[in-house]
Structure 1
Amino acid sequence: MRDEDKGREGEEIAAGFLKRNGYKILERNYRCRLGEIDIIAERGGEIYFVEVKYRTHPIHGTPLESITPQKISRLIKLAAHFLCERRLERACHFSVVGITKDGGRISIDFVQDAFDSTSVNN
Structure 2
Amino acid sequence: MKGAAAEDRAARYLEAQGRELLARNYRIPGGEIDLVSREGACLVFTEVRHRSHSRYGSAAESVTPRKLALMQRAALEYLSRELGRDDLPCRLEVLTIDGDVNSGTLQLLPLS
Aligned equivalent of 1:9, options 2, 5, 13: 5
Percent identical pairs in the alignment equals 31
> For residue 48 of structure 2, what is the aligned residue in structure 1?
52
CA-atom RMSD, angstroms?
Answer: 1.6
> For residue 95 of structure 1, what is the aligned residue in structure 2?
93
Give the alignment's TM-score, normalised by structure 2: 0.90
Which whole-Å deviations, capped at 9, do the CAs of 1:24-43 have from their partners, x for residues lacking one? 11000011223211000101
For the residue of structure 2 that corresponds to 1:62, the secondary structure is coil
For the residue of structure 2 that corresponds to 1:58, the secondary structure is coil
Displacement over 3 Å in runs of 4+ = 102-105
Structure with the bigger RCO (C-alpha within 8 Å, sep 6+) is 2
Give the alignment's TM-score, normalised by structure 1: 0.83
Using the TM superposition, give the Cα deviation of residue 104 of structure 1 relative to its aligned residue in structure 2, in angstroms.
7.1
> For residue 21 of structure 1, what is the aligned residue in structure 2?
17
Unpaired runs of 5+ residues, structure 1, are: 117-122
